[in-house]
Structure 1
Amino acid sequence: MKARKYRNKNSVSKKTKLSQAVQQVLLGMALSSSAYALQAQELNENDSAEKDDIEVIAVSGSYVKSLEKAVDIKRSNISFSDSIVATDIADFPEQNLAEALQRMPGVTIERNKGLGSRVNVRSLPTEFTHVSINGLATASGSGGRDVEFDIFASEIIQSVTVKKSPTAADEEGGIAGSVLISTARPFDYDETQLVASVEAAHNSISEEVDPKFSFLASDTFGDWGALVSFSRSERTNRTDSNSGIDFRPLSRWTEKSGDSQWQSDQTIAVLERDTGVVIDDPLDSDETGRAVFMNKVGDRAYLNEQEKWGATASIQYKPSNDFSLTLDAMLGGYDNTEDEYDAAAYSASSVSALERIHEYDDTTFSEYGMVVLSDVSYAATQHEFLSKENVHETDFSQLSLSLDWQLGEWTVTGLMGYSGAEKTSDRTNLKHTAYAPSRTRYTSTGGETIPSDNPDTIDMYNSPGSYLFDFYDVDLEEITDDKYAAQFDFSRGIFWDAFPALAKVQFGARYTDKSKERNLGNVQVKGPTAGDSSWSGERTLEDSELTLISDLVPGGAYLPEVEGKGGWSQVSNGYARNEFRYDGFNVPFQDNQFYRVDEEVLSIYAMADFEFNIGQFPVSLNTGVRAVDTSVLSFGYHQVQMPDGSTGYTDEPVSKKGSYTEVLPSLNMVVELSDSVLLRAAASETFIRPALGDIAYKRTVSVNEFKYFDGNPDLKPTYADQWELGVEWYLDNGGILAASYFDKTVEGVVRESLTGVVKDVTKYNDNGTLDGVYDFDVYQKVNDEGSYDVSGIELIAQFPLKALHSSLEGFGINSNYTKLDNSLTGSSDLGIPTPPPGLAETTYNFTAYYENNSFDARVSYNYKDDYVERIERSMYPVYRDAYGQVDVSLGYKINDSIKVVVEGINVTDEATKGYTMDPKFPTMYEFSGRRISLGIRGSI
């Protein structure tokens, strides 16, 4: 099945990002510099001059050699860091760059339906990590500052270094760390390189086979060199999930009044009758928020189809070791189409109430005064059949021109470049509903809805005539994310008799210009033509073409846990697109949904390197300071109160400025306790900027939560004072044993806070009937007061086992472990203590390998402790359960040019699980299957 694409070409004219980038680069050619050179400045010059060439993808590449090269980079860096190089990236069974990074010390990933998507460093939230490619902060179209790593193909990446202690010359330090990605260049190689690989992968649930192809070609011609690489892959993955289950407070009904007063009265009466719990004030959210029920239960089948390509090109002029001029380009595209078929029971129906409580739990959360209604019959559940199609198209490009020039005693480097992404999302939802009494309860893996004792109940899975057409809803969103950067850097060695410890001085300046723009449009189809609503209340589910769920997604029957329900039939997204998008269908962007944020940053920095002895121990020390001035301009259409009491939007965009200036010091030090043992220390102040979407001057609404959400241009960064102390033992056989302790004091954490109230907002039900008039709370992201402490240990063990006994030649292990202790808490309106979203206390990776001249084998286990995924309704922490996954890789070299590879991802077919506050109350039980691939790689 091919991914279906839709783009509203008439809605807005698109800018040609690449042409803009070329213009910017040409204008700033004289100022350009090398991202590689900036990283190389932190390496020991003698070591870097003698370093081996790093092999990319080539079958002659060795996993053991790639580990040794990574150890060399770690040892040479003045900062705390870890690296992986191309052989490691290319040879493991990875689906994207995020999954390639998960094997690094302190690095874990967030998974979405079996696919790694975002990166966490030392278990801190993903937005605490700064990411760059070839020295440029990377745009990915997410709208935030976090990078969607699933858009990048790992095959076109040369090396990745994760820096955990910054220097003053870094663009941003990142509270968790910085991920520095590098692509290949022609002078990385001694000779001509031509490498290619093909692969076919099979998913155990969808039973589809997906192709992948990649190649690299590189050569040098005297003073010139040229390199190109390309990768293209497809992925078809099916996920079955019993999910969407969360807590809903009884305020859903207790706040009803007027004609709906019966819902409040009946709910309060049933609660007291069946549990003994008495609601004194139906309008007190702190009281009603502590009596919760199951909001919604869904049986969901997902089909995810991806097409991804990436390419790099590098033209390098290097007439001598003293001068290098390089043009680097990176382009790519990521098209992702996801079909979701959802049979759900919305217990919190706007016209419902409690009818009978069969079971409840008032002990698990008794310390918070909470009671969980775990098995309940409801008066009028809203049963839903939802056919959703989400089409995302992301195009990214990056272009930079760089210079590395040894001018006498001075080294001159700099950087001029562009990074941009454009993401278009076409999201649809076909909704049919049936209102009827039913019973919803927790199960061991999630929840289920069954007929109740009420005579008007229905079998929700087999009553298509009871479901009325609600709407076919289409959202079209476009996000553009652009960044331009230029940097000067000057350094020279110092030989000063009056101050012999001073070895080097370095200073420079960097300017960046970043912008994010969002357009959004919505059309709701309720009839055969625009503006026609004749299908509402008339058309039923039976009037559309229905298909069994086992036929809607490849691979056959649904989860065994729900086989007793006999499956169900639903409308396919292909049919919905053809049936409900009438002639002339168009989704225009809405003015009041537009916003844009522009950010300009000027940084200047100065550093000095010192070399001296403490007793008999040689010491290398780098210290510096960076001054950062930031200005923000945010504008959009803001919601206002109209003269008649209703709410509307301003006629023209409203803008607001924000700014902040900071001075950030840093220190990194290495003490050589012996030829093989290093004591490393670091201290710095660093920050991470707020997400651009959070500082956008806008207002959005969540009708079901009775909330407005405002952007806040006055947001400041989140800061951290951090230090780290570690010892590293470098073994003669290329291995390493290391341990470090780190501590971060974090302040200014961005949280969502109640900042106002909008009175008398009229709310309507999905069927157009009046729900009621309510006061809507206004929430806004703010910088929290106070500071929080995050500390932890990190252990690394990487060594060949032949050090233990000669019979273990070729065997080895590569492992790491990170443990956190933190006082940082998430934000719950009920005062429930919880870690911030994304923070897992324990993570570890373990890889065992064997390698000889013709055969290699690796098995890896990655584990991430449970962590908070979100805080539902700003009240209840929802956790992603602890997860461990086994991956394997086997390779056999037929000859010096050809290698056959068999790889497996999630070979034990682990399920992804989640829960609200306690595992007794699961929110998700999800299978994405195992993935087995067969590939062949060749080189000339």
Structure 2
Amino acid sequence: MRRTLFLSIALALQATAIPTFAQTASTATEAIPAQPLDRALNALSRRTGLQFIYDAQAAGNPRTRAVPAGLSAEEGLRQLLDGTGLRYRFVNATTVTIEADAAGSATPLAAPASAAGDAGATGVPHAESPLHQLDRIEVTGSYSRSLEQAVDLKRWNIGFSDSIVATDVADFPEQNLAEALQRMPGVTIERNKGLGTKVSVRGLPSDYTLVTINDLATASGSGGRDVEFDMFASEIIQQVTVQKSPTAADEEGGIAGTVDISTARPFDYSARKIAVSAEGAYNSISEKTDPKYAFLASDTWGDWGALVSYSRAKRTNRTDSTSGINFRPMSRFLSASGTRGTQAQAVLARDAGVIVQDRNDTDESNLIVFQDKVGDRVYVNEQDKWGATASLQYKPSNTFSVAFDAMWGGYDATEDEYDAAAYSASSRSTLETIHDYDDTTLADYGMVVLKDVSYTATQHEMLSKERINKTDYSQYSVSMDWKGDVWSVDAMAGYSGAEKTLDYSNLKHVAYAPSRTRWTADSGETIPSANPNTIDMYNAPEKYLFEAYETTLERIKDDKYAGQVDLARSFDLAFFPALRSIQFGGRYTDRSKRREYGELKITGPTAGSAAWVNTLTMADSPLQSIGDIVPGGDYSFKNLDWQQISNEYARNAFRYDGFTTPYDPGQYYRVDETVTALYAMADLGFDIGTVPVSINAGTRYVDTSVTSFGYHPIQNPDGSTGYTDDPVSKDGSYKDWLPSFNMTAELTEGLMLRAAAAKTMMRPALTDVAYKRTASWSSFRFTDGNPDLKPTYAKQWEIGLEKYFDNGGLLAASYFNKKIDGVVISALTGVVEDVAVYNANGSLNGIYDFDVYQPVNAKGSYDVDGIEVIGQVPLGMFASWLEGFGINANYTRLDSSLAGESDLGIKTPMPGLSKDTYNATFYYENKRFDARLSYNHKSEYVESIGYNMYPIYRDAYGQLDMSIGYRITENVKLSLKGINLTDEVTSGYTMDPAFPTMYEKSGRRISLGIRADF
């Protein structure tokens, strides 16, 4: 459900006619008599089709002049406001803002040529709450105009927010919706192999952000609550607002913020609308050109309107990478029985002077680390993505509207990965010679890093991996908006669903031999060692023996139903003039997420056969050079070339007839969640001296019930794992109050003081809530889900100053603080005594006590604070020769006490939290030509914590994009776009840049497109 909180709602006249008062005037000589401003604007709206937005508190309610019949809409408005100290500005053809003018005249701030040429829909207007929440603005096709519209959205919203509209989304170079959002203040994205995937707000982890589409919280195909934006095409999106301070009416709020996505409706356009676009994009590494096309058609007839849109895109992207070069604790070798452990101990003493007192003391061995693995990898990601929307709207007046909105999407992706890897920490190996080590870089932690080592039996692997991801998304909603003179009612009922299937396979060939592995300047490498039995791992296919063709199959289904009713009443009370309106309502949500998972290894030509294991070599299958097996030619790093088996051949040759990957009951879970929420809030307006103040305050009550199903594992006497016959279920629940407060005060003309405070929440990931148990028989450990998990909460506040200029410019700065409680961590929660553990031959290994680990809400609070600075400056305000030039920039800095979980006690930021982010766009445009150059930057952040001990960082990343457009005719535009023009690489390191973990390159992307609007 979406709110349209205009203070006055427009009537529709013929789109081709210029509205005048004479069209509706009677025999009276005055079309609009002298009267208070609110009543005069309502009358003007009925006669002209214009819709007005203004701050009732700031403007006051002065008496306006009488306006004669027969005038144009703009002239009538000018005369009506003359002498009131107010002025007006056309936002688009039918939307006008009213604000104070120090000069005391009714001069226009800006008036487009077509300002009086289009009109909205017919209806009877009424005065509403001064919440100043402008929810939608029609797109004009100009980037500078879209920035002005986004500024209006920000200005008239009672809380802290930022927006982009469809022109901004469509005209920037991007590959999906996530990449379109990254230019908003405080918004960054997570990249995976050159593609934006998840959205982070203000540097906080992506799962702290709530995402809604048309006011319906979005289902997800992931195991958590975060939304995978790569499945959404940006062309079907009309507007996106990031709400950073919630009101009580907003669903929960999200700790980082809420991303509100809106699709288009027919009455969003003042006339028939048809838009068609086509594009071809070239990737510099894959050397493939990918097509993309989209269209939108919208029309209204009388009280009815219909809109459809469709977008489809194919993408072939290649990524070359060296990765997997993480720390491995020396306990891997030191704790091994026999000569493996004693030899590692001796080599450490001989070559590095490291004396190990107790080989089995992990407190000692965890501080000595070596390279886990070095992999040279080539990824080819092929996507076929489509999205569609449909909207049917009945709008007999601007006081009543019923709309049916639908959204569908499909995301089919196949990723081929060809990996030549050297697993230094193999179970057969140990240290042979330490050529170089570092005992100074991490000396503060007492750590020694073995930088260059020869190993006795490295596990060399040739891996052909295939990942097939199919996601289907659908959403349906029916909404009703009715607005009376005093009361208004909004209602919505909707469904959101996602279904994902993941089919994964890995053809694995292995060769054990001595090798030498070491760090390089930006990654790592494996080369032959001095041992006479060493091999050149890239050119010895006959040495690699078949180990397995591994398969997994996963299916996730997420269904969400929701219904909501909102009621609002406006007031004009003599005894309490500050009270402008109250609003209250409720929402009910029913969600169910189910996950099935299974895995099976193929080891022979028939089920149960192991005929291929250690007998079939890689040379027995047809091989192709890595430069031929993938598009784009040779591997771009290290001048390497090697041969592998293609995934296409592997799928056909190694999957025997009738093969399927069975689902494993022990991996199944289902989580049912119902939420009942009630809220109430009030809008107040009053003056403090000469400063008009508006306040929105309220609270939301949330009652959640969770039922989780899963299975518990049982080890069979033959050593295999079985499961309980019936699912084990458990209930959980939590209730809470979420108060919110938002305030604006216009200190001087155009200078806004804004403040907000709220308690917000983010629900735990459903994978953590799922009541299932997994067992590690060798580690004597159970891992359970926890239906009793509570949400993570934040008590937050923010204060800022915003300066708005007449030409759409904006300067803003704010300080925010969040106190976060209940962060989810993994902890020991119990012990299961006397568990029988069996060996593979069926003999009893022993009776053991098993530790039980669960996700729990951590005790204590963490503070996050930061500043956000925004500058949108049309440079024409400084000099006429700079007309058309402008800058749109923002910067967010975050400081946090949030700590990652390191068993070594290493202080580290929370995974996913970035300290500095900024975006800057330089643009120029005139009637025919436009150009944009945009740079976005995200500082380094902790990506994960290896073995729960060693923080692994993703390096800071900055990307330069550009867009050039030329309007061939008034309706047809040609565009040239470039993504990652400087060909930046993605890189990372463990604890210190001296120990790189990855070096990944996805190339540039250049596209040429054409768009027609009619």
TM-score by length of structure 1 reads: 0.92
Contact 1:657 1:713 in 2 (8 A): yes
1:882-931 superposed Cα distances (whole Å, 9 cap, x missing partner): 00000000000011111100000001100000111111111110000000
Residue of structure 2 in register with 1:35 after alignment? 2
Contact 1:59 1:898 in 2 (8 A): no
Structure number with greater CO (CA < 8 Å, separation at least 6) is 1
Q: Distance in 1 between matches of 2:162 and 2:495?
A: 26
For 1:749-828, what aligned pairs fall within 5 Å after superposition? Answer: 749-755=823-829, 778-828=852-902
1:729-766 superposed Cα distances (whole Å, 9 cap, x missing partner): 0011101000000000111111223446787867989x
Contact 2:978 2:1006 in 1 (8 A): yes
Residue of structure 2 in register with 1:533 after alignment? 610
Q: Does 1:151 align with 2:231?
A: yes
Cα drift, residue 251 of structure 1: 1.5
Aligned-partner SS, 1:73: helix
Cα drift, residue 467 of structure 1: 0.7
For 1:404-419, what aligned pairs fall within 5 Å after superposition? Answer: 404-419=481-496
Call closer, same or farther: CA 1:182–1:304 in 2, change over 3 Å. Answer: same
Q: Which of residues 156, 177, 180 in structure 2 aligns to 1:100?
A: 180
Q: Distance in 2 between matches of 1:541 and 1:907?
A: 39
Residue of structure 2 in register with 1:30 after alignment? none
Q: Does 1:194 align with 2:274?
A: yes
Cα drift, residue 140 of structure 1: 2.8
Residue of structure 2 in register with 1:365 after alignment? 442
Aligned-partner SS, 1:235: strand
Contact 2:92 2:138 in 1 (8 A): no
Q: Does 1:456 align with 2:519?
A: no
Residue of structure 2 in register with 1:672 after alignment? 746
Q: Distance in 1 between matches of 2:611 and 2:205?
A: 48
Cα drift, residue 351 of structure 1: 1.4
Cα drift, residue 279 of structure 1: 2.6
Contact 1:316 1:325 in 2 (8 A): yes
Contact 1:638 1:697 in 2 (8 A): no
Residue of structure 1 in register with 2:128 after alignment? none
Cα drift, residue 780 of structure 1: 2.5
Structure exhibiting the larger radius of gyration computed from Cα positions: 2
Contact 1:505 1:607 in 2 (8 A): yes
Q: Does 1:204 align with 2:288?
A: no
For 1:334-733, what aligned pairs fall within 5 Å after superposition? Answer: 334-559=411-636, 561-563=637-639, 565=640, 567-640=641-714, 648-700=722-774, 709-733=783-807
Q: Which runs of 5+ in 1 are unaligned?
A: 1-33
Letter paired with 2:92: D
Contact 2:972 2:1011 in 1 (8 A): yes
Residue of structure 2 in register with 1:909 after alignment? 983
Q: Distance in 2 between matches of 1:57 and 1:618?
A: 25
Q: Distance in 2 between matches of 1:39 and 1:244?
A: 55
Call closer, same or farther: CA 1:38–1:824 in 2, change over 3 Å. Answer: farther
Q: Distance in 2 between matches of 1:201 and 1:320?
A: 44
1:639-678 superposed Cα distances (whole Å, 9 cap, x missing partner): 2567899864222110111111011110000001122000
Residue of structure 1 in register with 2:207 after alignment? 127
Aligned-partner SS, 2:53: helix
Q: Which of residues 32, 46, 52 in structure 1 aligns to 2:92?
A: 52
Aligned-partner SS, 1:75: helix
The more displaced of 482-491 and 408-417 is 408-417
Q: Distance in 2 between matches of 1:580 and 1:936?
A: 45
The more displaced of 189-198 and 591-600 is 591-600
Q: Which of residues 366, 379, 382 in structure 2 aligns to 1:302?
A: 379
Q: Distance in 1 between matches of 2:939 and 2:770?
A: 34
Q: Does 1:863 align with 2:869?
A: no
The more displaced of 271-280 and 192-201 is 271-280
1:715-741 superposed Cα distances (whole Å, 9 cap, x missing partner): 111111100000000011101000000
Residue of structure 2 in register with 1:228 after alignment? 308
1:141-177 superposed Cα distances (whole Å, 9 cap, x missing partner): 0121000000000000000000000111111211100
Residue of structure 2 in register with 1:894 after alignment? 968
Q: Which of residues 811, 816, 837 in structure 2 aligns to 1:742?
A: 816
Contact 2:921 2:932 in 1 (8 A): yes
Contact 2:665 2:723 in 1 (8 A): no
Aligned-partner SS, 1:35: coil
Q: Distance in 2 between matches of 1:40 and 1:795?
A: 30
Letter paired with 1:585: F
Q: Which runs of 5+ in 2 are unaligned?
A: 9-37, 39-50, 56-89, 96-117, 119-135
Q: Distance in 1 between matches of 2:520 and 2:782?
A: 34
Cα drift, residue 282 of structure 1: 2.8
Q: Which of residues 846, 858, 861 in structure 1 aligns to 2:920?
A: 846
Contact 2:138 2:268 in 1 (8 A): no
Q: Distance in 2 between matches of 1:723 and 1:346?
A: 49
Aligned-partner SS, 1:207: coil
Q: Which of residues 285, 296, 299 in structure 2 aligns to 1:219?
A: 299
Cα drift, residue 496 of structure 1: 1.8
1:56-107 superposed Cα distances (whole Å, 9 cap, x missing partner): 9999600011100000000000010000000000111110000000000000
Q: Percent identity?
A: 64
Letter paired with 2:179: E
Call closer, same or farther: CA 1:48–1:160 in 2, change over 3 Å. Answer: farther
Contact 1:58 1:939 in 2 (8 A): no
Residue of structure 2 in register with 1:84 after alignment? 164
Letter paired with 1:196: V
Q: Distance in 2 between matches of 1:576 and 1:632?
A: 43
Call closer, same or farther: CA 1:724–1:290 in 2, change over 3 Å. Answer: same
1:565-607 superposed Cα distances (whole Å, 9 cap, x missing partner): 4x10000000000101111111221222211111111000000
Q: Distance in 2 between matches of 1:760 and 1:235?
A: 52
Q: Distance in 2 between matches of 1:486 and 1:220?
A: 28
For 1:240-251, what aligned pairs fall within 5 Å after superposition? Answer: 240-251=320-331
Letter paired with 1:107: V
Call closer, same or farther: CA 1:836–1:531 in 2, change over 3 Å. Answer: same
Contact 1:58 1:938 in 2 (8 A): no
Call closer, same or farther: CA 1:75–1:38 in 2, change over 3 Å. Answer: closer
Number of aligned residue pairs: give it. 897
Letter paired with 2:959: Q
Contact 2:889 2:918 in 1 (8 A): yes
Letter paired with 1:562: K
Letter paired with 1:311: A
Q: Distance in 2 between matches of 1:368 and 1:756?
A: 31
Call closer, same or farther: CA 1:848–1:134 in 2, change over 3 Å. Answer: same
Q: Distance in 2 between matches of 1:776 and 1:220?
A: 67
Q: Does 1:934 align with 2:1008?
A: yes
Contact 1:703 1:763 in 2 (8 A): no
Cα drift, residue 35 of structure 1: 2.7
1:513-566 superposed Cα distances (whole Å, 9 cap, x missing partner): 11110011212100011111110111111111111001111111102x321x4x
Contact 2:711 2:723 in 1 (8 A): yes
Cα drift, residue 835 of structure 1: 0.5
The more displaced of 77-86 and 629-638 is 629-638
Contact 1:763 1:773 in 2 (8 A): no
Contact 2:929 2:965 in 1 (8 A): yes
Q: Distance in 2 between matches of 1:48 and 1:289?
A: 64
Residue of structure 1 in register with 2:250 after alignment? 170
Q: CA RMSD in A?
A: 2.5
Residue of structure 2 in register with 1:326 after alignment? 403
